[in-house]
Chain A
Amino acid sequence: MMGRTIFIDPGRCIGCQACVSACRECDSHRGKSMIHLDYPDEGHTVASLPTVCMHCEDPVAPCAEVCPADAILVTADGVVQQADTTRCIGCANCVNACPFGVPKIDLQAKLQMKCNLCYDRTAYGLAPMCATVCPTGALFYGTLDELRAERPGVQVADSFTFGDVVVHTGVAMVVPADKVRWPVPGGLPVVEINGVDVR
């Protein structure tokens, strides 16, 4: 994991969409929000889940691996950048291969876009837009020590299971200390009845 990163705590998220609005202000994709805010069990709970790019470390960036145009660069500091505008052909391989459902695509512009950890800010030591505006700390930017200084004893996880595969990420999630599961389930495997996933 990189030294300074985003820690996501869905338990703190109130679904206010401040992160979604702030993300639009990022200079590297002005006017378009790259963060996803989902309501997993809408109608039954008020739970909400913010999703930024997890900056996969092992396997290194599946989105970049499946890219047929070598358009997705992983910088030396582990940040998986959005597609190079010169190279991206808009095939959507990255969109559909990402286990976290992160990249977006503009089919007219034949261009993929995704969270790049606000590289215009984080490269200069500033926090990403989403973490800057989050009123509850559901999105925290800093080192693990800084997080623990604010939230003593907090446990975080940076690996997720998808079926039999474990994906280690650069961005981490907060997990309860007493109920920690390791790694965090990523949503697979499938529960199917008559060919339809019923989860």
Chain B
Amino acid sequence: MTEPPQTADPTPAPDPPAPGAAPAADGPAPQTPAAVRRRAVLAGAAVSALLILAIVFGSRLLRDFDSALLPYAVATVFLAFGVAYRYTVWVSAPGARRLFRQGWRSFFSAANFRRAPTALPKMIATYLGLQKFLGARSHARWAAHQLLFWGCVLAALITFPLTWGWFTFTSGSGDGPGYEMRIWGFKVLGFNALNIIGWLMFHGLDIAAVLVISGASYFLWRRMKDRGAITGQRFAYDLIPLIALVVVSVTGLLLTFSSIFLHGGGYEFLAVLHMVSVVFTLIYIPFGKFFHIVQRPAAVGMQLFKYTSRDKDADGELKTCRRCHEPIDTAAYVENLRGTMKDLKLDFDEWAEYCPRCKRVLRGNAYLTHVKKGFQ
């Protein structure tokens, strides 16, 4: 690149901030990476310890704990540590931290409960459950993601409590067909294993596997055919999660196949294969694409913040562009963004009060006036 000509009058570099300078308004003190890591390790250890206690007490001091499921339970403890660690590191970054706080502030504000008590449940249902925003991106992706999502939710609701010894299925007669489902030792349901309820109870994971395989297959196909999806895709980030879901689901289905059609042939090998695939997938969750499962619910806080600040602004007005007066966003949101930019030493935060088009036009005008007067 060309060097600046000696005759030019270079803009002086901004002065370094004075030692001990106050952080941006409402901004937390800067954190060192070591401090963040320390806090993340503590959070991870605390959550893991809580989960272990929940497993011990939830399984009635391990009386209901199925030792055959021990590797799964250990994997969930690692998962809890990883998720808490990564989550803590994530919400320590300036952008996430400010929106995280604003989300909770909006949630606990009396105004929110009074004016919009249904806002949060609605957002959870439409944003996290139905994922309507995915429909706006592509109907096919929405449908496939719904299959994947509900399959994973169903599987998690069944397997996690089973693994932890929270659910038990017992038969008074020893071999059925009458079964009792107990949660933490309390009977919640009695059913006949040979009727439709019993079939659904014992094949819940097979149903989940079919849903997951359908959804994941679509996304795998798309990753191989759609040129937009292929652009910049990474094997470890984009393909491994889908392959892992398919492997977990297929090996799970093979267990049922073995017990029904092979009279248990190869069951032990398949059980180990399934266990290994599940354990690796669980441990991978905090580190790759699956982290969006944890991250996405946090975005509800951002939606709530925007929603409540817009509501508060109903009497006033939205923040408008300082040049063309087109609305930018709520005043609280723009203030929050400016704070984030100050935290990050992006000292052109004043620019956030201009709409994108005016930024470009003003830059064009500056070029026209100061750089190349004849550029028309």
Known contacts A99-B351, A172-B1; is A182 also within 8 Å of B8 by CB? yes
CB of A40 closer than 8 Å to a CB of B: yes
Segment at the interface with B among A16-24, A126-134, A154-162: A154-162
Inter-subunit contact A66/B232 (CB<8 Å): no
Interface centre among B13, B228, B360, B365 (most CB of A within 10 A): B360
Which residue in B5, B93, B341, B356 is a CB contact (below 8 Å) of A101?
B356
Which residue in B329, B362, B363 is a CB contact (below 8 Å) of A96?
B329
By secondary structure, the B interface counts as helix
Inter-subunit contact B5/A49 (CB<8 Å): no
Inter-subunit contact A103/B357 (CB<8 Å): no
Give Cα A162–Cα B367 distance, bound, in whole angstroms: 13
Inter-subunit contact A158/B360 (CB<8 Å): no
What's the least CB distance linking A34 to chain B, in Å? 12
Contact with B along A174-199 (1 / 0, CB 8 A): 01100111111111101010011101
Inter-subunit contact B371/A92 (CB<8 Å): no
Give Cα A27–Cα B2 distance, bound, in whole angstroms: 33
Within 8 A of B (CB), among A6-29: 10-11, 27-29
CB of B316 closer than 8 Å to a CB of A: no
What's the least CB distance linking A165 to chain B, in Å? 5
Taking CB atoms, residues of chain B closer than 8 Å to A92 are: 329, 333
Interface range on chain A (Cβ under 8 Å from partner): 35 or more
Inter-subunit contact B337/A110 (CB<8 Å): no
Inter-subunit contact B363/A156 (CB<8 Å): no
Give Cα A181–Cα B371 distance, bound, in whole angstroms: 6
Taking CB atoms, residues of chain A closer than 8 Å to B322 are: 190, 192, 195-197
CB of A102 closer than 8 Å to a CB of B: yes
What's the least CB distance linking B335 to chain A, in Å? 12
Contact with A along B1-40 (1 / 0, CB 8 A): 1101100101111100000000000000000000000000
Known contacts A45-B376, A49-B364, A100-B359; is A30 also within 8 Å of B346 by CB? no
What's the least CB distance linking A97 to chain B, in Å? 6
Within 8 A of B (CB), among A56-80: 59, 62, 65-70, 73, 75
Residue of A nearest to B323 (CB): A197
Inter-subunit contact B376/A47 (CB<8 Å): yes
Inter-subunit contact A66/B337 (CB<8 Å): yes
Which residue in A47, A119, A195 is a CB contact (below 8 Å) of B231?
A119
CB of B109 closer than 8 Å to a CB of A: no
Residue of A nearest to B103 (CB): A68
Inter-subunit contact A49/B356 (CB<8 Å): no
Segment at the interface with A among B72-80, B279-287, B291-299: B291-299
Give Cα A155–Cα B8 distance, bound, in whole angstroms: 13
Taking CB atoms, residues of chain B closer than 8 Å to A186 are: 348, 363, 366
For this complex, 28 residue pairs linking A to B, each with C-beta atoms less than 8 Å apart, are A10-B367, A11-B372, A28-B228, A30-B228, A51-B363, A62-B341, A65-B344, A66-B344, A68-B95, A68-B96, A69-B295, A69-B299, A90-B133, A96-B356, A97-B351, A99-B351, A101-B358, A120-B231, A123-B231, A164-B11, A181-B371, A183-B4, A183-B10, A185-B366, A187-B351, A188-B351, A192-B322, A196-B322
Residues of chain A whose beta carbon lies under 8 Å from any beta carbon of chain B: 1, 10-11, 27-30, 36, 38, 40-41, 45-47, 49, 51, 59, 62, 65-70, 73, 75, 81, 85-87, 89-93, 95-104, 106, 108-111, 116, 119-120, 123, 144, 155-158, 160-167, 172-173, 175-176, 179-188, 190, 192, 195-197, 199
Residues of chain B whose beta carbon lies under 8 Å from any beta carbon of chain A: 1-2, 4-5, 8, 10-14, 90, 93-96, 98-100, 133-134, 136-137, 227-228, 230-232, 289, 292, 295-296, 299, 302, 306, 322-323, 328-329, 333-334, 337, 340-341, 344-348, 350-352, 354-368, 370-376
